[in-house]
Amino acid sequence: MMAYLTMMASRLVELSRVLKDTGSLYLHCDPTASHYLKIVLDGIFGKENFRNEIVWRRTQPKSHVKINFSTAHDTILRYAKSAHTFFNMVYTEHDKNYVDKFYRYTDPDGRRYRLDNLTNPNKNRPNLTYEFLGVTRVWRWTKERMQKAYEDGIVVQTRPGAVPVRKSYLDEKKGQPITDFWDDIEHLHGGFAEYLGYPTQKPVALLERIIRASSNPGDIVLDPFCGCGTAIHAAHKLGRKWIGIDISHLAVGLIRKRMTEAFPDCDFTVSGTPKDVEAARFLAESNGLEGRYQFQYWALSLVGGIPANDKKKGADSGSDGFIWVYDAPDAKQPFKINISVKSGKIPANHIRELGGMLGKGKVEMCLLLTLEKPSKKMLADALSYGNYAYPGGLEFPRVQILTIAELLEGKKPAYLDFGVGSAMPKKAKKEIKKQTQYKLPQ
């Protein structure tokens, strides 16, 4: 916990530095750390800039032990940069039971309304005391305004001699103001279309609510731990500028794929990933085993591959990732392209190992992505496995070798996918409405 708090504190200092005076910071955590983080945030932002401790209730409680109540919520801490912070109240739809109880009347055009009192609680208002429709009261409005509203059908008298009342329409109300208890947004699980399989993925609706409350279109949203990109997805959808940061090339590749699929016209720049072979080599060799895994995630992203495992265990199985494709428009089942990534010397028998995977587990093609240039024998061995024949007559090599240099130059694996990516797991839903994309200041 102390290591985590130390890591967070240094980053929160920097986030406070870059935050505008009108900005807000939202920090999502669970109850095991929220009280410590609140103390850290008080020290950095000032306790006077604490705004909310939001309880986000999960609809499916987490329970790991039998000696405690099930954990059913997470915490979102909101801090302002200054007293000038921007906040836009967010509303939810009215509860149906509330609407049925209070908005019991309907106009001929279908608009629902209720009848509201027009009398003034302050009885000492001579200028607002007059007779209207045969009833003398101290009214809320002037006589001129009352008469105009009556002519417009807003003020009605339900029966002769009754006190006139105002028709208050449901569609004129913004809804129910959001409190600091959020129980209407369910956490993600496999049954959700937007779920991408990322372990800490948040619902887009959760980030949309936060972004709507504390920014306007054209403002900048920064997520320094952006994971699978939910915050920047929501920001782009709502017409905000955005910056996402993550230390993992797995996350970067997933975000690139997500934003391209959800917003086909989205134009963005990825910084910090290798742009040449030497940078790729530095990534692979700079941080031991972790560096090789990050290189692997990055290389897979160059061909649109999905990692075979989130955490590598044991010996190299020859399967670092995969792509599922349909070989015909009417194909009932997809086949698998197995991907192997190598950042160092390629074992002499590696091509044979890849060839041995063909025909197993729906694998019909194999790709080797390599930092080092393959030998002539490896190229010959790859060709020896022949071609995979598509039903329409097209053929592609069953075993293909692509170097990182070739990939950086734009070369792609040779295959066609008639399913246009539909067989790949956890594809981001395309956003139908075209969004205005704002450019970041230079």
Between these two residues, 406 and 248, which has the higher pLDDT value?
A: 406
pLDDT score at 76 = 96
User: Is residue 62 over pLDDT 50?
Assistant: yes
Between these two residues, 311 and 383, which has the higher pLDDT value?
A: 383
Q: What average pLDDT does the chain have?
A: 90
User: Is residue 314 over pLDDT 50?
Assistant: no
- Percent of the chain beyond pLDDT 90? 68
pLDDT band at 323 (very low <50, low <70, confident <90, very high): very high
User: Is residue 63 over pLDDT 70?
Assistant: no
pLDDT score at 437 = 52
Q: Is 310 exposed, middle or buried (0-12, 13-18, 19+ CB in 10 A)?
A: exposed
In this structure, the number of other CB atoms found within 10 A of the CB of residue 69 comes to 7
User: Is residue 412 over pLDDT 90?
Assistant: yes
Provide mean pLDDT across the span 136-145. Answer: 95
pLDDT band at 50 (very low <50, low <70, confident <90, very high): very high
pLDDT score at 30 = 87
H or E element in which residue 99 lies? helix 96-102
Range from 17-26, 138-147, 175-184 carrying the lowest mean pLDDT? 175-184
pLDDT score at 313 = 44
Between these two residues, 440 and 261, which has the higher pLDDT value?
A: 261
CA distance 251 to 439: 23
pLDDT band at 435 (very low <50, low <70, confident <90, very high): low
pLDDT score at 392 = 86
User: Is residue 318 over pLDDT 90?
Assistant: no
CA distance 7 to 18: 18
pLDDT score at 426 = 62
Provide mean pLDDT across the span 381-404. Answer: 95
Provide mean pLDDT across the span 342-359. Answer: 91
Buried-exposed string 159-174: b where 16+ CB fall within 10 A, e elsewhere: eeeeebbbbbebeeee
Provide the 3-class DSSP secondary structure of residue 263. Answer: coil
User: Is residue 403 over pLDDT 90?
Assistant: yes
Cβ(404)–Cβ(369) below 8 Å: yes
CA distance 61 to 385: 51
pLDDT band at 52 (very low <50, low <70, confident <90, very high): very high
pLDDT score at 65 = 64
Range from 57-71, 124-138, 219-233 carrying the lowest mean pLDDT? 57-71
User: Is residue 18 over pLDDT 80?
Assistant: yes
User: Is residue 316 over pLDDT 60?
Assistant: no
Provide mean pLDDT across the span 139-156. Answer: 95
- Looking at domain 2-90+178-246, which of 3.40.190.10, 3.40.50.360, 3.30.70.1350, 3.40.50.150 is its CATH number? 3.40.50.150
pLDDT score at 25 = 98
**Cα distance from N-terminal residue to C-terminal residue, the chain:** 38
* Domain range annotation of the chain: 2-90+178-246, 93-172
Cβ(295)–Cβ(284) below 8 Å: yes
Between these two residues, 226 and 316, which has the higher pLDDT value?
A: 226
Provide mean pLDDT across the span 309-316. Answer: 50
